[in-house]
Structure 1
Amino acid sequence: MASFSSSRWSPDLPRSVPYIYLDNAATSLPKPPGVAKAVGDAILRAGNPGRSGHALSIRSARDLFAARESLAEVFGCADSSRFVFSENATFALNQAIKGVLRPGDHVVTTSVEHNSVMRPLRRMEEAGVRVTVVPAGKDGVTEARDMIGAFREQTRLVVIVHASNVSGALQPVEDVVAAAHRRGILTLIDAAQTAGSLPIDLSSLPVDLLAASGHKGLLGPQGTGFLFVREGVPIVPLIEGGTGSRSESDHQPEFLPDALESGTQNSVGVAGLAVSLSWILRKGVETIRRREIVLVDLLLQGLSRMPGVMVYGPADPARRGSAVSFRVEGMDPAEVGMRLEKRGGVLVRAGLHCSPNGHRALGTFPAGTVRVSPGPFTTRAEIATFLSSLRKIRDSSA
């Protein structure tokens, strides 16, 4: 297994204040070596990609191309033009949902989706789209047979999160996508919690649309993300404008990525993303995933031994992503999170995590949970320190 190192100091905290960062499900930290430098170098020579013929414009365009090629390699796709850059997974999901659905269509989704899926679906529902939300079990897992059983003749799209950002539970995307594909139903996967940390092979998984952020498992800067659009999938752009191509026409180009990439791209952030993608390719997503399972297993075992601590999601670390949610009996999740930071220097996230339906499925609404999420640079020692800190907090409140 490849070795990983970890910084113990936050760039946003005084150098005298140690911390343990366990909020990678929100944003990965630290970034791989070279990412910050790539961003800094790019902003000093950033031209407008695709708009001019001079050297700096061409250099920025090359940054976009390099990252696009690396995305295609990470996800097993022969055509990198199918990857459309966006500011984040939220924009990509909105583009997919609003670009595909029309009044009278029917869409199937799960009860553990992020608001980046549910809010645009509710907006489309107001416009005449029918939405079926399939409930998940108490472990946060939606059964494939229930999803498939909700298909109708009018079903246009199935939207499913790859791994819940609350419970970490992996959803049955392979079975659902295969069944929808056989029926000619479009599929959209929200891979915000799995891209870069769990193998996804688009050459064998016939998903039509896949959205992810660049700043989580892909370890890039914030303000980066993408939408994969399989060839032949009809999609209407959310925004239209300058693309640097077909400038003689006042109609939007129809070819990807230009059709869905209007305006100046974040070439500075994508330059950093290209470096993080190269790091992932060198390490191997399979290696990163094996390490993730080890760290999550340590968390689950440690939490399960603490009386008064309730852990949510599957017990098997291989059936979940890196997000682990828990509650301490008699304590508000926000208080637990605050004490972890003040007493142990451990940074986690507490609350509803922008997924109220996910918490309803688990029975943790409205207070939410404490979510701890290791990343590829997290160490066993840091997990041990977190567990020790939590144990002291629990004992002091008993």
Structure 2
Amino acid sequence: MIYLDNAATSLNKPQVVIDAVIDAIQHSGNAGRGSSDSAMQASRSIFQARQSLNQLINGKDPRQIIFTHNATDSLNTVIKGLFKKGDHVITTVMEHNSVLRPLYELEENGLELTILDINSKGIIDPATVNNTIQSNTKGMVITHASNITGDINPIKEITQILHQHNLLGIVDASQTIGCIPIDVEALDIDVLCFTGHKSLLGPQGTGGIYVHPDVEIHPLKSGGTGIDTFSHHQPLDYPSRLEAGTLNSHGIAGLAAGVNYLIDYGVNKVRDYERNLLNIFYKELQSIPQIKFYGHFNPTVDRCGILSINLGDFDSAIVVEELIDRAEIITRGGGHCAPLMHEALGTKEQGVVRFSLSHYTKKEDLMVAVECLKDIQKDLSE
């Protein structure tokens, strides 16, 4: 099998991640619930995970790392905890449904929403952000990179504009954290939402939020935290403020192992490797008749390890199935939960065939994919 669907989830995990999950299942109790060895081990493991993630993104304080179940959980918590009826929020056509659907829900209850289109390079022009700000604007929710094209938005320029107007910048880093260097201080990000099971190489069911200490998010959930038992209200301090209930300490242990692996290996190294492979892949694919590419390709510009195509007007789902049947090449077709981006790209009906790499991807695997696509194009055209 050739696995090229890492934008959906990373299949190949470092052995240290697997070992960490097994060890946690065997030895970890419930963090913050008691003083037994097993409970304390879980607490230590979770705090160490906060420290590692904070180091990875250069956050201000490990206590500002909040654990969730995935990026959807993170984004719902943040969007519904920051915005209310009467607020104006800016977002983009590049967003995943985990951003759009919570915003649509709030819009139905009185939120004002502006959705920005992409420019000729497939990203958001900061000038359009500035031109969209209103007196009741509260902030902007924007993806760091498109999960369809891999193109990266100019986050720093956008957050600078937002902060000139005292507005919040919320960034969805689902496709970038772990494969593109992220410094929340340098990028001036107020809130960063992420998942653990993609380029962070952790288990599914893990994710998180980084919240700048000056940002107050109203809790989406209330419940047990292991502290302030007799209070009627959720604790105000992070991370307990947004962490009601038992945490997934087993998964978080695996996530921490993945993050530590990346810190040691080097996110810059991951980025450079994936970008080099992507450029080779892109160049080889250009020889296929009637192939369509989506995204702006520049070998000197950072982008995620994502390359989306179509073969003429053939349905993307058919091409995906042919890749599986002919060479066990795993990709993804269809809509990718980003409906507005497909409308912007003109692929609403056809979808796209998305290839997404990791640092485990080999050049030989991509060459097999190229030859397979050539055969598919030839056979479908006859």
> Which TM-score band (shorter chain)?
over 0.9
Tell me, yes or no, if structure 1 residue 124 matches structure 2 residue 106. Answer: yes
- Give distance in 1, aligned partners of 2:60 and 2:338: 34
Work out which of the residue numbers 326, 331, 340 in structure 2 matches 1:343: 326
Tell me the residue number matched to 1:363. 346
Tell me the residue number matched to 2:367. 384
Q: Is the 8 A contact 2:275 2:302 kept in 1?
A: no
Tell me the residue number matched to 1:250. 232
Alpha-carbon offset, residue 55 of structure 1: 0.4
Tell me the residue number matched to 2:380. 397
- Secondary structure of the structure 2 residue equivalent to 1:116: helix
Residue by residue over 1:24-59, the C-alpha shift from the partner in whole angstroms, topping out at 9 and shown as x without a partner, is 000012011211121112112230110111000000
Gaps of 5+ in 2: none
- Secondary structure of the structure 1 residue equivalent to 2:367: helix
Q: Is the 8 A contact 2:155 2:187 kept in 1?
A: no
Q: Is the 8 A contact 2:320 2:353 kept in 1?
A: yes
Alpha-carbon offset, residue 175 of structure 1: 0.6
Q: Is the 8 A contact 2:68 2:208 kept in 1?
A: yes
Alpha-carbon offset, residue 130 of structure 1: 0.2
- Give distance in 1, aligned partners of 2:312 and 2:74: 38
- Give distance in 1, aligned partners of 2:175 and 2:325: 27
Tell me, yes or no, if structure 1 residue 285 matches structure 2 residue 267. Answer: yes
Tell me, yes or no, if structure 1 residue 83 matches structure 2 residue 75. Answer: no
Report matched runs for 1:189-200 at 5 Å: 189-200=171-182
Tell me the residue number matched to 1:96. 78
Tell me, yes or no, if structure 1 residue 40 matches structure 2 residue 43. Answer: no
- Give distance in 1, aligned partners of 2:230 and 2:313: 66
Tell me the residue number matched to 1:264. 246
Q: Is the 8 A contact 1:139 1:312 kept in 2?
A: no
Work out which of the residue numbers 293, 296, 299 in structure 2 matches 1:311: 293
Residue by residue over 1:241-293, the C-alpha shift from the partner in whole angstroms, topping out at 9 and shown as x without a partner, is 10001113221110000000000000000111111111100011111111111
- Secondary structure of the structure 2 residue equivalent to 1:349: coil
TM, length-normalised to structure 2: 0.97
Residue by residue over 1:179-209, the C-alpha shift from the partner in whole angstroms, topping out at 9 and shown as x without a partner, is 1012100110000000011111122221111
- Give distance in 2, aligned partners of 1:121 and 1:293: 33
Alpha-carbon offset, residue 320 of structure 1: 2.4
Gaps of 5+ in 1: 1-18
TM, length-normalised to structure 1: 0.94
- Give distance in 1, aligned partners of 2:235 and 2:168: 23
Residue by residue over 1:144-193, the C-alpha shift from the partner in whole angstroms, topping out at 9 and shown as x without a partner, is 11122111121101011000001111112111111101210011000000
- Secondary structure of the structure 2 residue equivalent to 1:34: helix
Report matched runs for 1:69-218 at 5 Å: 69-137=51-119, 139-218=121-200
Q: Is the 8 A contact 2:67 2:207 kept in 1?
A: yes
Identical positions, percent = 39
Letter in 2 for 1:256: Y
- Secondary structure of the structure 2 residue equivalent to 1:187: strand
- Give distance in 2, aligned partners of 1:356 and 1:291: 30
Tell me the residue number matched to 1:326. 309
Q: Is the 8 A contact 1:137 1:361 kept in 2?
A: no
Q: Is the 8 A contact 1:194 1:321 kept in 2?
A: yes
Q: Is the 8 A contact 2:57 2:182 kept in 1?
A: yes
Q: Which has the higher mean CA deviation after the structures are superposed, 35-44 or 267-276?
A: 35-44
Runs of 4+ residues over 6 Å off in structure 1: none
Q: Is the 8 A contact 2:293 2:310 kept in 1?
A: yes
Q: Is the 8 A contact 1:49 1:265 kept in 2?
A: yes
- Give distance in 2, aligned partners of 1:108 and 1:304: 36
